Amino acid sequence: MLRAGRPAHGWVNVPPTRASTFVFETVQAWRETRKRRETERLNSYGARGTDSTYALEDAVVELEAGHRAGFFPTGQAAIAVTLMAFLKPGDHLLMTDSAYEPVRRFCRDQLGQLGVEVTYYKPDGSDVQGKIRHNTKVIYVECPGSLVYEMLDLRAICDIARAHNCWTIADNTWGSGWLYQPLVLGADVSILAATKYLGGHSDVMMGIAVANEKAWPQLQTAVVDYGQTVSGDDAYLISRGIRTLPARMAMHAESAQRVMQWLGSRPEIVHVFNPSLPEDPGHQLWKRDCAGINGLITIELSPVYDACQMESFIDALQLFGLGASWGGFESLVIPANMAAARSLSDWSCRGQIVRLHIGLEETEDLIADLAQALDQLH
């Protein structure tokens, strides 16, 4: 990734291109460019691409082993526009029950009123075959799933999709192309919230959808029609973040493994969620399809602790910031409401759920911070 998306000679990093209007010498050149830009990358107008976005596209296409990529102001925008690209009124969408919660709201409040039917399937994908309908057009995957990281057999899901002439769209923010490659496993579109690990510094918002050759024309049309683009400065920041992605991921993973080992020894915690753990139901799929882990860990507190005690534990943390998102250099924590995040499983008898993002601080300091906060539960 150190050299992805950069020219063979010249600037080591493509400088930010701040541009909107591109002028032509003749009407013929203007017309030819407008015709050719539907299948080629040409300078024609800022929203259609600049040196900055083309360089970033080269990098993420290499990262995801895709064909072309579209850019969006946020990850949620990437998901929404991609779904709209492949669905129309009367179509049926199969949505994973482990999807990012704003996606569930989009399905309910936007797709629902547009006449798109949505059915949720189990996070492990075991019931997908039985929920396919004659009008099913898209199977949407998030693997590992949000909050508790359920794995599914994406290869098998993609085989089912192809057999029924469906598109497979995957949220790949967890793997970010480095740990997991949905397109290699058979998906048609892989979506990343570049806000997270690709940026890596919590200072830029962006969503990216990387498509295979078959899916690209349909996705590209939606990107253009919905007016989706990003600035040259933001494209530059994500390109710069990708340069250190392998090193940062390795640091997140090493620290997360040590923290998980320590968390497993604490009596206040009854379960640690992470697919790299041998006892995790998706461990074998994780070993087969993933190249490692990131910094995300979720814990279940003993049922003896109520919501107020869980919140006191979070408030007592000093190095973990309480905030949305993850994937930056800093450690973060949020409470997770699994009853709201899942509709096909019952979490009512489980303990309080807390999601941690293990950042790049000293591991010993993070463990000490967790220890003092857990001690306060007593």
The model's pLDDT over 175-210, given as tens digits with 9 standing for 90+, comes to 999 999 999 999 999 999 999 999 999 999 999 999
Nearest alpha-carbon partner for 356 in 270, 284, 252, 201 = 252
pLDDT tens-digit series, residues 140-169? 999 999 999 999 999 999 999 999 999 999
Which fold is adopted by the domain 27-243?
Aspartate Aminotransferase; domain 2 (3.40.640)
pLDDT at residue 182 in the model: 98
pLDDT at residue 1 in the model: 59
Question: pLDDT above 70 covers what percent of the chain?
Answer: 98
Between CA 198 and CA 255 the distance in angstroms is 19
pLDDT at residue 324 in the model: 86
Which DSSP letter does residue 145 get? P
- HEC assignment per residue over 40-86: CCCCCEHHHCCHHHHHHHHHHHHHHCCCEEEEECCHHHHHHHHHHHH
Which residue ranges make up each domain of the chain? 27-243, 245-375
pLDDT exceeds 70 at position 257 = yes
Between CA 238 and CA 253 the distance in angstroms is 21
- How large is the greatest C-alpha to C-alpha distance in the chain, in angstroms? 77
pLDDT exceeds 90 at position 106 = yes
320 token code pair = 């973990």
* Mean of all residue pLDDT scores within the chain: 96
Contact assessment for residue 272 and residue 263, using Cβ atoms and an 8 Å cutoff: yes
Domain formed by 245-375, architecture: Alpha-Beta Complex (3.90)
The one-letter amino acid at 270:
V
Contact assessment for residue 223 and residue 239, using Cβ atoms and an 8 Å cutoff: no
Contact assessment for residue 261 and residue 16, using Cβ atoms and an 8 Å cutoff: no
Min mean pLDDT across 13-17, 203-207, 299-303 is at 13-17
> pTM score, two decimals?
0.94
Give the mean pLDDT of 218-246. Answer: 97
pLDDT at residue 123 in the model: 98
Task: List helix spans (H) across the chain.
Answer: 27-36, 51-64, 75-86, 101-106, 128-131, 154-163, 216-225, 232-243, 245-263, 283-289, 307-316, 338-341, 363-375
Contact assessment for residue 1 and residue 59, using Cβ atoms and an 8 Å cutoff: yes
Contact assessment for residue 199 and residue 238, using Cβ atoms and an 8 Å cutoff: yes
pLDDT at residue 6 in the model: 67
